[in-house]
Each structure stands twice: as structure tokens, then as C-alpha cells.
Amino acid sequence: MRKDIKIEDLKSGMVLANAVKSKHGQTIAKAGTVLNHALISRIKFYKIEEVSIDEPTPNKDIDAMVSALDVDSAPVVEPMEAPVPEVSVPVEEPPKETPPVEAPHEKTTVEEIVSYNQKLLNTSEYQNFQLEYTKTLEKMKTIFQKIKDGDNNLPTDELLRDCSHLFLSKTSLELFSMIFNMRSIDDSVYAHSLNVALISRTIGRWLKFSKSDLDTLTMAGLLHDIGKLTIPDEVLNKTGKLTDEEFEMIRQHPLEGTRMLRRINADSRICAAALQHHERFDGSGYPRRLSEDEIDDFAAIIAIADVYDAMTAARAYRSARCAFQVIHEFEQDGLHKYKTKYILTFLERIANLYQNSQVILNDGRHAKVVYINKGALSRPIVELADHTMLDLSHERDFFISAIV
């Protein structure tokens, strides 16, 4: 039974009967999504007054529930340009479908499957992160506009302090999980740039950069996409295929951003990151097809963070991907596109963040990551519910489809 519910009456656990869309017609949450506190807050943020909900079905198939909850973990579609073959990571061709393998002793419930995510969303730490994250986005909008106008009187120290606060008392796993749950639609330039800054700073810390270099790298991440302010909203937020003219407009944003930053005498490494974050070490990137040592180190780090954030976000043309799927896509795309030391450090650290995590396989079974295979980071050894071990580096028909 479906009925319309006012936004103030929504409660966690309700199931959406219809997709919820923003004023621009982009999907915030799909039909069948199970509401939680964070998603209700996002719906309120977009000033949606009423949604249609479905009465819960007690005997709903477990696979359908898992699918809905996976959408709930990253419900918002962040608009971006259509996939660019030479600069984006190609979409993995999934292994052939395999009939679900039944685990006779498995007693896992939907509540247990989502326990980590739900616990995180209900913590005061996450609520504070959500508040600080939103405040930082608003500050970024003001600063970006000042830069666009050529005003170099910028409160960059204050912005850096805000970014640093987002790191306080958090493990890397907590930070990445919180970023995953802070997806936005209408301010995709700012949310994506903030995520890239946070991910880049994390990589810099893993590489043991100095405090001064970490701050410059963070600012480079924040400002790397500022050139997108020159792109009309109808092009930037377009969910369909781009025309050749629109595609070329998108490809100009590194040059436009660099021009803006040079006008305000920004640090040369910040300018280089804006100009080169779509360059690749094998010379396949743009706008200048630079390669290897021609690419600035900060730009090389931001390129990795940029692709990772894009791949773990939902898009109009695909769902969000979990960390192991993105690691696989980096491996498939060719690690030679990125600086060896940086990409190997990043992928190894990301994979090890999820040691002991609960995951869902592509056949619906859930398991625990017990050992990361160094030669196949996206395919660890997992323990199934009946306590048998499955080495995904050998069992190629199976892969991790979600981290829970």
C-alpha cells in the first residue's frame, strides 16, 4: 500500500514507493530505498515537502532488501560529464552471472547487514562531521566566487582549518565511510572538490608529507575543479550524452581554472594541480598529453583522488562502486597511468582499511574479509557464513559487490 507522507513525518525504516528527485529532476533516492536519518536530512535539505512511501513487506526477498540498502548507503546522484574514454576508468565487465550459493547455516538478517553503516550514521561524530562538512561547502562557494571575480583577498587559512577539523579523531576508515555518506547533487563541484581534498590529504599523510605540503596539497584538491564554474549548469548537470561542443567545453575546465588561479597569484603547485589533474603518466590524458615527470607530484596525487571519488559516487548512468570494485578498475585500467609509488600506496592502504570488514559477494552471499592478497588487492580471501574460506583471486566467478 502506497501513501504520501509529509517530510516532517518521515521515519527511519520507511520504504520509498517512488524515486525522490531534486528540482532539477535528478535522483536523490531510488524507489525501494529504505530511509534512514541521514537520507531524511538530505531530502529536507532539498526542500521536498512530500514523498510516497510503501508499507514494509515482512517477507521481502533478502536479495532485494540488500539491493535497496546498497542504494541507501550512497543514495544521491552527483552530476558530472558523460564518461570520457581516455581519462576515466573503464567500467568493469562483471563476471558471468552465477546462481546464488545457499549457505544452510546462515542466519544473517538485514539489520545485521547494515549494522556498521547504521551505527556510523547514528554517532555524534558523524552528525558533527555532517554539520562541519556542510558549513565548509558554503564557505567554499564564497571563496570560489571570489576567485572567479579575481579577488585574491581569500580566507584560505580559515578554509584549511575547517578541512583539518574534518580529520579530527577519525581513523582513515571512518573518514572514507563518512565521505561516502555525504553525497550531493546540486553542488557537485564543491562536494566533489572537498572530497578530493580530504582524500588527497589522506594520501599525503600516508606518504609522510610535511604539514606545509599537506596544507598546500589540500588547497590544491579544493581548487582543482574551479574551472567548472565557467561551464553552464545545463551542461555540467546534464545526465544524457554530451554533444561534441559540450564535451569540448568540459575539457576546457583545467585551462579555465588555471587562468583564474594565476590571476590571484596562487601557489604554482595549486595551479599545476588545476591544469594537470586529468593528465596521465602514459600520455593519454588532457589538455596537453603530458607524461611521467612532466606531471607535478601534487597533480598526480589529485588525479588518483579525483578518479576514486568519482567512481565511489553514484551517477545517472551507473550505481556507486565499493572500494574493492574501484581497486579492480584501477588494476584493469592500467597502473601505468599513475605514478607508481602513489597509486600502489593508495590501493594497498585502501584495501587494508577493509580488512575484517563484512562484504556482500555478487551472488548475494555475505562474508568477512580475512586476508588481502597483495598480488590481487581487489580479490581478498573471505570467510563465508558457514566458516569456509573463499580465495577470490582463484575463484574468478565471484567478486565483492558491496562493503557493509
pLDDT per position as a tens digit, 312-343: 887 766 678 889 999 999 988 878 999 999 99
Three-state SS annotation for 91-107: CCCCCCCCCCCCCCCCC
Q: Is residue 355 part of a domain?
A: no
Looking at the fold, whether 266 and 139 belong to one and the same domain comes out as yes
How many CB atoms neighbour CB 379 within 10 A? 24
Domain limit, last residue, from 28, 44, 60: 60
- Edge-first strand order for the sheet with 2-6 is 2-6, 50-54, 15-16
What interhelical angle do 156-165 and 124-148 show, nearest 10? 160
- pLDDT band at residue 399 using 50, 70 and 90 as cut-offs: very high
Average pLDDT for the chain? 80
Is the pLDDT higher at 67 or at 158? Answer: 158
Give the 3-state secondary structure of residue 18: coil
46 and 122 assigned to the same domain: no
pTM: predicted TM-score of the whole model, two decimal places? 0.71
**Conformation bin of residue 252: beta by default, left when phi > 0, alpha when psi is -120 to 50:** alpha
Query: Which residue has better confidence, 297 or 173?
Result: 297
Is residue 3 within a helix (H) or strand (E), and if so which, with residue range?
strand 2-6
Arithmetic mean of pLDDT, 1-22:
81
Q: Is residue 390 a contact partner of residue 379, using CB atoms and an 8 Å limit? A: no
Same domain for 8 and 151, yes or no, is no
Mark whether 143 and 218 lie in a shared domain.
yes
Q: Distance between CA atoms of 44 and 316, rounded to whole angstroms?
A: 21
Q: Tell whether 28 and 146 lie within a shared domain.
A: no
Give the domain CATH number at 55: 3.90.105.10
Q: Tell me which of 292, 308, 343 is where a domain ends.
A: 343
Does residue 353 belong to any structural domain of this protein? no
Rounded-to-integer distance, Cα 343 and Cα 301, Å: 8
d(CA 177, CA 369): 17
- Together in a domain, 138 and 240: yes
Cβ-based neighbours of 218, under 8 Å, separated by 6 or more: 160, 163, 197, 198, 200, 201, 204
Residue 158 within a domain? yes
- Indicate whether 203 and 338 sit together in one domain: yes
Q: Are residue 197 and residue 298 in the same domain, yes or no?
A: yes
Q: Which helix (H) or strand (E) holds 397?
A: none
Taking every pair of C-alpha atoms in the chain, what is the biggest distance, in angstroms? 66
Q: Is residue 27 part of a domain?
A: yes
**How far apart are the C-alpha atoms of 109 and 354, rounded to whole Å?**
21
CA distance 78 to 237: 8
Residue 142: CB atoms within 10 A of its CB come to: 11
Strands 366-371 and 381-384 turn out to be antiparallel
Q: Note whether 344 and 335 are within 8 A (CB).
A: yes
Split at pLDDT 50, 70, 90, the class of 127 is confident
Residue 252: how many other CB atoms lie within 10 Å: 15
Same domain, 55 and 125: no
The verdict on residue 74 lying in a domain is no
Q: What pLDDT does residue 126 have?
A: 86
Residues 201 and 291 both lie in one domain:
yes
Residues 163 and 305 in one domain: yes
Interstrand relation of 389-391 and 381-384 (parallel, antiparallel or unpaired): antiparallel
Q: What is the CATH number of the domain that holds 137?
A: 1.10.3210.10
**Structural domain harbouring 146:** 118-321+333-343
Q: At what angle do helices 268-276 and 211-223 cross, to 10 degrees?
A: 40
Question: What is the Cα–Cα distance from 246 to 82, expressed in whole angstroms?
Answer: 10
Question: Are 306 and 316 within 8 A, CB to CB?
Answer: no
- The C-alpha atoms of residue 97 and residue 90 are separated, in whole angstroms, by 20
Assigned domain for 361 exists? no
In this predicted structure, the answer to whether residue 392 has a pLDDT above a threshold of 80 is: yes
pLDDT of the residue at 64: 38
Domain count, the chain: 2
Using the 3D structure, point to which of 37, 60, 83 is the last residue of a domain.
60
Residue 146 domain-assigned? yes
Residue 220: all three cell numbers together: 590544491
Considering the domain architecture, whether residues 265 and 154 belong to the same structural domain is answered as: yes
Give domain status of residue 195, yes or no: yes
Q: Is 174 exposed, middle or buried (0-12, 13-18, 19+ CB in 10 A)?
A: middle
Whole-number pLDDT of residue 378: 95
